[in-house]
Amino acid sequence: MSESPPLSPIRLHKALERIWGTGPGWQRLSAVNHTVLGKRFMLTAFVFFAIGGVLAMLIRAQLASPHAAFVGPEIYNQLFSMHGTLMMFLFAIPMLEGLAIYLLPKMLGARDMAFPRLTAYGYWCYLFGGIIIVASMLFGVAPNSGWFMYTPLSSQPYTPGINADIWLLGVTFVEISALSAAIEITVSILKLRAPGMALGRMPLFAWYMLVTAMMMVFGFPPLILGSILLELERAFGLPFFDPTRGGDALLWQHLFWLFGHPEVYIIFLPAAGALSTIIPVFAQRRIVGYHAIIAAIVALAFLSFGLWVHHMFTVGIPHLALAFFSAASALVAIPTAVQIFAWLATLAHGRPRFEVPMLYVMGFFLVFVIGGLTGVMLAMVPFDQQAHDSYFVVAHLHYVLVGGFVFPMLAAAYYWLPHVTGRQSVHRISVPAFWLIFIGFNLTFFMMHLTGLMGMPRRVYTYPSNFGWDWLNLLSSVSGFILTMGFALFAMDIVLHFRFGRRFRRNLWRAPTLDWAMPTRPTSYAFASLPTVTGHAEEADPDTLGPQLAGGQGYLGFVRKNRLETLGVDMTTGRVEHVAILPSPTYLPFISGALTTGVVLAMLFKFYIIALLFALATFASFLFWSREKGEREDCGPIAIGKGETAPPDAEVSGPSAYWAMVIGLAANGTGFAALLFGALYLWLVAPAWPPPQIVGPSLWLWLVLPALGLASLASRWAQGTNASGRDPRLQLSVGMGLDIAALIVLSLALAALPDPTAHAHMATMAALLGYSWLHAALGLFCGLNALLRYRWGYVSARRPLPLRLNLMWHDFTLVTGLLGVALILAMPGLIGALEAAR
Amino acid sequence: MKRARILPPLALASASLSACAGPLSTLDPAGPSADAVANLWWVMFWASVLLFLLVGGLWALVWLRPGFGRSLAPMRWVVLGGLVMPGVLLTLLVGFALYIGERLLPHALADPPPRVSAHGIMWQWQFSYPDIAGAATTPTLHIPAGAPVDIVVTSGDVVHSFWVPRLAGKIDAIPGHRNVIRIQADRPGTYEGVCAEFCGDGHTTMRFRVEAHAPQDYRQAVLEAAP
């Protein structure tokens, strides 16, 4: 295709805006644009932060004096459970997702994220899930077992109401949206960058987000699995955590903290990424130790998965085992110290200028260092056994999370708000707001170190006055209200900023990153044409680059066939690889999100048939996603500007969707590994073993593998047929028939199991078969999707992706099925061996 | 200017820390185990104060004396501050803490210490004395003073946690599991205990009392204790 003559910047802008922009009014529900959705995520997260803050004020009101009668334990337990849940799951994680979604394409020189409809779907899931969780408070049935939901307290006999179900279903709903965001962030960073931006030239913020997103990919599945198992126990009596029937409360703690500890770094790293972006700007110098920081955060990511047991130093694990986790927990201070000193060195070797964002960076420094120091203290086993579950821990976690996330986010807000609004603040309310927040925070939480050392356990709703805690608590409460006033002032400042901020032309802070090489407020398409990165992406020159790109002098500075185009690159080198064609605004994510909410609500009220119908409707709606997008003909390399060409994404071997499947399967595999771990953990550690009855091999169990194997073979056959240019529909149909056969065999194998509510052994075996059943069912969906896409004309020998994805899914199902069945067959031997050893 | 703002809270903290006695205070130890941990705390506290002043001071100098740090090459900052300093300090600290932790474990002794069972249920503790024939179950924990006692901690329903801060750290009571913690009160007297793990609506009131008796009176005291 030949290039049309270059348009003027204004006409180019109009042409791009027409196809990238989101319409007004109700059309806002169809938004899939990263700028729009990033802002929505952040605004929604801030609203949940405010609600969580109000809960904290109620908590402090109750604790201000001894014997307070403001609320009783029933309400108080909901208050602190909801405060933690809101701040962790509905504020921190979505806030960092929003920041990443808003910034990443702009920093990487792309026009959008890899899967804009998925971004929108994730947003709706988050919003609806959050509303369900918050609404539960209005009905007085909010979760009340604490934000880490320890069993058996959160199990049916001790929390019979709907409270715990709201947590398990609501949070899982939000977490699945977070997991999809993580997959999208990973793929977007790896594939959608400006040409020439090799991994080693990427801005540090993108590195931080890449590591964070990978941690989410491996950290969230254990929690999601744990929540599903606990909900299965609550709803259907499968005793995974019930110690009287072969389950174990400690399994929940392991699964929860296997997620819960990485979670802390998942929250901290994006904030640190913002700091690594902001500090060099105000130091007026490139960051010191670019490679050292990358090494540090990668090390941090690995270490963070090896120290979850430091939340469990008092559960009775042998001291020598604790020693390993204690050392690993202390070791984590090193990569953190590397970053702290890299930032200090950047300032020491730069020409620092002090502006409002740096005030908040200072707040981060002082608060976070204290949190880090108390963290090292808590990593020491004997000290932790005193301080654990006391207010010392409450103090520590607030120092780490507020220091490590809230202060950096405030700095980021003041740094990027001009980018969002195109205005700069004229009032300096930000300064008194800072001092109120900083002083209020320290007075509130520093006191809690002492309260904890003086023996106050966390989660008590009141206390007598003879323990010496009165003045400490009163001071904490009063200061808590100072802190709140600071946040109110911050919120007011933001409103004033929107209303009265003064416009500026370009690159307010003289930043050297690509996010400022565009008009601010940003246009929907971000870059009118895409930049080429020849040096380091943190040494860009937005002031000259911006006008050039707006004038269409970069790549893709035109509109073709009304398509939304951006460039896909080779992961490591950043060489141009393909033209990624992105979807236009559509209501489908909203519809799918609403249907998914139907699934969650129906399960919450135990209408399982209706839940199943909603689930089928949700998947049907996904088929419409599939129908909307694709290329109906092979077209070969197309022009991308500057006289170069690249093939469209459907015609390359590694487009974004392929990598999303790879990473999605890695997450899924992690969940499966957690299930295997659970089955073996219960066998090895749980009380009330051996089980009264042992699952033996049934005929149907033996047939599971041939069924899954043949389904996988049929998928391979279909792919081969298509690759040689022939119609693969017969083979796909055969594959779907085999999927159905596998479903029947798996159902019969499940029916042949002894009663799964009788003992955790039977329950885990049922869960393994259930996992395969679910994957065979989804395999059927993959096959149907491939079949329909072929029929719609989106598939050819050169555009084989749906068939490849179908094959990957079936291979994964086969491998996990193999492992699951192998474990079931090995269990009788394992149980016998352990009994013999005992 | 910034340090001036930081120092008062620290001074306040250390002043109040030395005066924080209280019936549940870990800093007012009444037995060897709590004493060892309190010592560990003071070592870590003063080390942390120094480290905080170091980092805070560097931050202040960066702003107040621009260019002061240029004599040290950029990567030197990272290597010295980020690797060498924490590497040395953490190795020492982890070693010291492990040594303390190892000493506090309920190792087998030539003269096995008496055992008391602490059973947590929603929301009270039941203490029983398998070593003493005819002893009833009591809501107050009776121990002999001046010698170690092993507490066998179990739960009848949800997770609780046994904690007498002036005597030792805590250990969880987990249904289906059996944990042992060694405590010792140096002198006869009354000590306060709490449930440290959130266990539902009655968590707040799941407190108990420990009475340490002179060794010669112990047996009699247990037999006479009100159930």
Question: What are the structural domains of chain A?
Answer: 27-257+505-583+629-682 (1.20.210.10), 689-837 (1.20.120.80)
* Nearest partner of A87 among A477, A366, A398, judged by Cα: A398
| Cβ neighbours of A370 in B, within 8 Å | 48, 52
**Cβ distance of B100 and A382 shorter than 8 Å:** yes
pLDDT at residue B6 is higher than 50: no
Q: Chain-centre distance of CA A688, in angstroms?
A: 37
**Strands B149-155 and B115-121, how do they pair?**
parallel
**pLDDT at B11 (0 to 100):** 53
Q: Which residues of B touch A463 (CB under 8 A)?
A: 204
* Gap between the Cα atoms of B44 and B89, Å rounded: 10
The Cα of B136 is separated from the nearest Cα of chain A by a number of Å equal to 27
A280 cis-preceded (ω within 30 degrees of 0) = no
Task: Report yes or no: B116 and B150 within 8 Å, Cβ to Cβ.
Answer: yes
Per-residue model confidence (pLDDT) at position B3: 40
Amino acid letter, A37: L
Q: What angle do CA A422, A494, A16 make, to 5 degrees?
A: 30
Q: pLDDT of B123-174, one tens digit each?
A: 999 999 999 999 999 999 999 999 999 999 999 999 999 999 999 999 999 9
Phi, psi of A801 (to 5 degrees): -55, -50
Tokens 């007026």 correspond to what residue?
A: A284
Mean pLDDT across B43-58: 95
Q: Which helix (H) or strand (E) holds A332?
A: none
Other CB atoms within 10 Å distance of the CB of residue A89: 25
Instruction: Give pLDDT, residue A629.
Output: 87
| A503/A684 Cα distance (integer angstroms) | 65
Residue from A231, A193, A185 nearest A210 by CA: A185
pLDDT of residue A695: 87
* Closest residue on chain B to A157 (Cα): B157
3-class SS shares of chain A: helix, strand, coil, % to 5: 70, 5, 25
Which of A389, A465, A473 would you mutate first to test chain B, the one with the most B CBs within 10 A?
A389
Query: Which residue is closest to A145 within chain B, CA to CA?
Result: B200
> What digits encode the pLDDT tens for the residues A768-794?
999 999 999 999 999 999 999 999 999
For chain B, domain boundaries = 2-104, 115-224
Instruction: Look over chain A and give the mean of its residue pLDDT values, rounded to a whole number.
Output: 95
The label of the residue with tokens 């069945």 reads: A821
Residues 11-30 (B) with a CB less than 8 A from some CB of A: 13, 16-17, 20-27
Question: Which pairing describes strands A502-503 and A564-569: parallel, antiparallel, or unpaired?
Answer: unpaired
Place of tokens 């709703």: A461
Distance separating alpha carbons of residues B226 and B207, to the nearest angstrom: 17
Residue matched to tokens 């899954």? A708
N-term to C-term CA, chain B: 61
Q: What is the DSSP letter of B190?
A: E
- Mean pLDDT, chain B, integer: 90
Q: Select from B206, B203, B209 the least CA-distant residue to B190.
A: B209
CA separation for the pair A667, A293 (Å, rounded):
26
* Three-class HEC string of A612-667: HHHHHHHHHHHHHHHHHCCCCCCCCCEEEECCEEECEHHHCCCCHHHHHHHHHHHH
* Cα maximum dimension of chain B: 78
Identify the CATH homologous superfamily for domain B115-224: Cupredoxins -  blue copper proteins (2.60.40.420)
Cβ-contact A681, A605 below 8 angstroms: no
pLDDT at residue B93 is higher than 60: yes
CA dihedral for A162, A675, A237, B125, sign (positive or negative): negative
State the distance between the two ends of chain A, measured CA to CA, in whole angstroms: 75
> Which regions of chain A are under pLDDT 70?
1-6
Give the per-residue pLDDT at A335.
Answer: 96
Peptide bond into B123 cis (omega under 30): yes
Give the number of C-alpha atoms closer than 13 A to the C-alpha of residue B197, restricted to the C-beta side: 29
> Looking at the predicted structure, is the pLDDT value of residue B19 above 60?
no
Does the distance separating the beta carbons of A454 and B59 come in below 8 Å?
no
Q: What does the pLDDT read at residue A451?
A: 96
Instruction: List all residues 6 or more positions away from B210 whose beta carbon is below 8 Å from its beta carbon.
Output: B140, B141, B142, B143, B164, B167, B185, B190, B191, B192, B193
pLDDT at B15: 53
Peptide bond into A505 cis (omega under 30): no
Instruction: Using alpha carbons only, give the angle A183, A332, A678 rounded to the nearest 5 degrees.
Output: 55
Residue B4: pLDDT over 50: no
In chain A, which residues have their Cβ closer than 8 Å to the Cβ of B59? 344, 347, 362, 365-366
The fraction of chain A above a pLDDT of 90, given in percent, is 94
A418 — alpha (psi -120 to 50), left (phi > 0) or beta? Answer: alpha
pLDDT value of position A254:
96
> Which of A81, A307, A344, A359 is the mutation pick for testing B, counting most B CBs within 10 A?
A344
Alpha carbon distance A631, A31 (integer Å)? 22
* Phi, psi of A243, deg, nearest 5: -65, -20
Show the tokens assigned to A62: 């109750």
Q: What is the pLDDT of residue A46?
A: 97
What distance separates the 2 farthest-apart alpha carbons in chain A?
Answer: 85
How many Å apart are CA A555 and CA A528, to the nearest integer? 9
Residues of A in contact with B55 (CB under 8 A): 340, 344, 365, 369
Q: Percent of chain A having pLDDT more than 70?
A: 99
